[in-house]
Structure 1
Amino acid sequence: MSVLQNVEDDSPLFAFEVTQRDVCLFGIKVHALAVSQALDNIDSAIKNKQSLHIGMLNAAKIVNMKRNPALGDDVRSSNMILADGSAVVMASKILRKTLPERVAGIDLMHGILSRGNKEGYRVFCLGATPEISAKTESEIRKQYPGVVIAGTQHGYFNDSEEAAVAQQIADSNADVLFVAITSPKKEQFMARWNKTMRIPVVHGVGGSFDVLAGKVQRAPLIWQKYGMEWLYRVVQEPGRLWKRYLVTNTLFLGMLVKELFLPSKPF
């Protein structure tokens, strides 16, 4: 195991070692885990005070990792990488490197909160607007009263304030940090300040706070079942999202075809 060193008191925080099987997709090591297995790893990391940095992978992120090598490095620095998109699970089947199921970031967040409701996890919520941040805190307290809110901080801070935010999180003694900041800033923040924050579990949750706070409606289960959650989002915000998904999905399909004939090596 590697050691993440505490810059304040030099006490060690060991990196959690995921022992379950992983597969290589598009040169990225993805762990072949069901939601329940991921939650078991998270619980173990919390109880043993080990560092578990969770990376979530969907089609758009795979495309953007190819465009932005720095983003790729930040995602690969995670020690548990999960398939957050149905397209990634579909690709794993086509490439004969089958993943057991999709582990959506928002489902994992609710799973952590559900277990935390029983175990008394301390949670810090980082990201979104001040209004959404406050509403998210309120909803967690209402839906998961056994969870301790160790702290909150909205996502509208500049680069010069990052160190102070990271120290605020460190001082909270949280077990779990939810990061609701858009990519690639989210991955950059998590990778840059992980050693300072010294939080056992760090999970980038994307737009999950907007859903939890009721600002955005999540796709019905039937849309989720058939991997069409992205289309539901486009229907909700066509002017903003149609071009992004058209370009991203087209590029991802091209990468998948290439991967069939020239598989990428892990790096």
Structure 2
Amino acid sequence: MQEVRLGNNPRIKLLGAEVDVLDESQTVSLVNEYIKTNTPLHLIGVNADKINAMQKDPEFSEIVNSCGVINADGASLVLASRFLGEPLPERVAGIDLMQRLVELSGKNQYKIFLLGAKESVVRQAAKVLKDQNPTLKIVGVRNGYFRREEWPLISKQLKELKPDLVFVGITSPLKEYLVEFLQADGNKSVFMGVGGSFDVISGKIPRAPLWMQKSNLEWLFRVGQEPKRLLRRYLFGNITFIWHVIKAKLSGNVKR
């Protein structure tokens, strides 16, 4: 479903993905316009892993590129954009953007819904966010353990609650297919995928130290936390991503 694009920011085509030339503050301002005008939005962050997945799954690629706001949520993507001659301003980290949007919601009395992770984790994340933002309106939480057959029930719940923002902490590409279904079913919220942010916010897992975040080494910290699950993914995933970057450089496949 091709979404309405608000704002006049440029967008580049990078390794098969449409990416908005936006920094974090510009993204927050733009999302605010979507909420104020009641315009549906799928806000997505693209990283090396998503780029690799898009090369193999045309339907997934179509969903990503149809989103109204597409951020570069990965240092590798920002570095690739510079190497390919179309530099993006910065990495817009999903968890940081989520925190900024939560603050915006508390200030403007926007309603939010948390969807994903384990029940104990998502409820603890909601408590932490509420403690940090006392005026925040959290209208509902739901864990991420459900079958596709339950998607209509989730849609029904969201239609009843009418949240302005829905943060979705579910693994890709299932997350993107779920949001596509919810939007096609008439939900007009701003949907944002937040990966494992609920785990970090709840305190279940720590985030990388600030110096590692600023040095583009947050991925290495994650590998250290879960080496069995992530080492192979990052090792082979990064090699594949670098190969896509090299091919794009040779072909000139990046444009505004």
- TM-score tier by shorter-chain length is over 0.9
CA distance in structure 2 between the partners assigned to 1:214 and 1:197 by the alignment: 34
Number of residue pairs matched?
Answer: 255
Aligned to 2:34: 45
- Please report how far the alpha carbon of residue 197 of structure 1 lies from its aligned counterpart in structure 2 after TM superposition: 4.9
Aligned to 1:188: 177
What does residue range 201-220 of structure 1 map to in structure 2 within 5 Å? 201-220=190-209
Amino acid at match of 1:49: N
Aligned to 1:248: 237
- Please, which of 28, 42, 65 is the counterpart of residue 17 of structure 2? 28
- Please report how far the alpha carbon of residue 76 of structure 1 lies from its aligned counterpart in structure 2 after TM superposition: 1.3
What does residue range 126-137 of structure 1 map to in structure 2 within 5 Å? 126-137=115-126
CA distance in structure 1 between the partners assigned to 2:7 and 2:189 by the alignment: 14
- Please, which of 226, 232, 250 is the counterpart of residue 215 of structure 2? 226
- Please report how far the alpha carbon of residue 135 of structure 1 lies from its aligned counterpart in structure 2 after TM superposition: 0.7
- Please report how far the alpha carbon of residue 237 of structure 1 lies from its aligned counterpart in structure 2 after TM superposition: 1.2
CA distance in structure 2 between the partners assigned to 1:72 and 1:139 by the alignment: 34
CA distance in structure 1 between the partners assigned to 2:196 and 2:2 by the alignment: 31
Contact 1:18–1:79 (8 Å) recurs in 2 = no
CA distance in structure 2 between the partners assigned to 1:80 and 1:104 by the alignment: 14
Mark the CA change 1:243 to 1:141 in structure 2 (over 3 Å): closer, same or farther: same
CA distance in structure 1 between the partners assigned to 2:31 and 2:69 by the alignment: 10
Contact 1:59–1:85 (8 Å) recurs in 2 = yes
Partner of 2:180, secondary structure, is helix
Percent identical across equivalent pairs? 37
- Please report how far the alpha carbon of residue 255 of structure 1 lies from its aligned counterpart in structure 2 after TM superposition: 0.6
1:15-62 C-alpha deviation (Å, 9 max, x unpaired): 342321111101221000011100001111111111121111001110
- Please, which of 96, 106, 124 is the counterpart of residue 95 of structure 2? 106
Contact 1:53–1:202 (8 Å) recurs in 2 = yes
Q: Which runs of 5+ in 1 are unaligned?
A: 5-14
Amino acid at match of 1:150: V
CA distance in structure 2 between the partners assigned to 1:263 and 1:114 by the alignment: 40
Mark the CA change 1:146 to 1:119 in structure 2 (over 3 Å): closer, same or farther: same
TM-score by length of 2: 0.95
Contact 2:84–2:254 (8 Å) recurs in 1 = no
- Please report how far the alpha carbon of residue 199 of structure 1 lies from its aligned counterpart in structure 2 after TM superposition: 3.1
What does residue range 144-223 of structure 1 map to in structure 2 within 5 Å? 144-223=133-212
Amino acid at match of 2:128: E
Aligned to 1:76: 65
Amino acid at match of 1:120: Q
CA distance in structure 2 between the partners assigned to 1:232 and 1:150 by the alignment: 33
CA distance in structure 2 between the partners assigned to 1:145 and 1:264 by the alignment: 47
- Please report how far the alpha carbon of residue 263 of structure 1 lies from its aligned counterpart in structure 2 after TM superposition: 3.3
Q: Which runs of 5+ in 2 are unaligned?
A: none
CA distance in structure 2 between the partners assigned to 1:198 and 1:141 by the alignment: 24
Partner of 1:135, secondary structure, is helix
TM-score by length of 1: 0.91
Instruction: Tell me if 1:18 matches 2:7.
Output: yes
Amino acid at match of 1:181: I
CA distance in structure 2 between the partners assigned to 1:143 and 1:85 by the alignment: 26
Partner of 2:185, secondary structure, is helix
Mark the CA change 1:3 to 1:256 in structure 2 (over 3 Å): closer, same or farther: closer
CA distance in structure 2 between the partners assigned to 1:248 and 1:18 by the alignment: 33
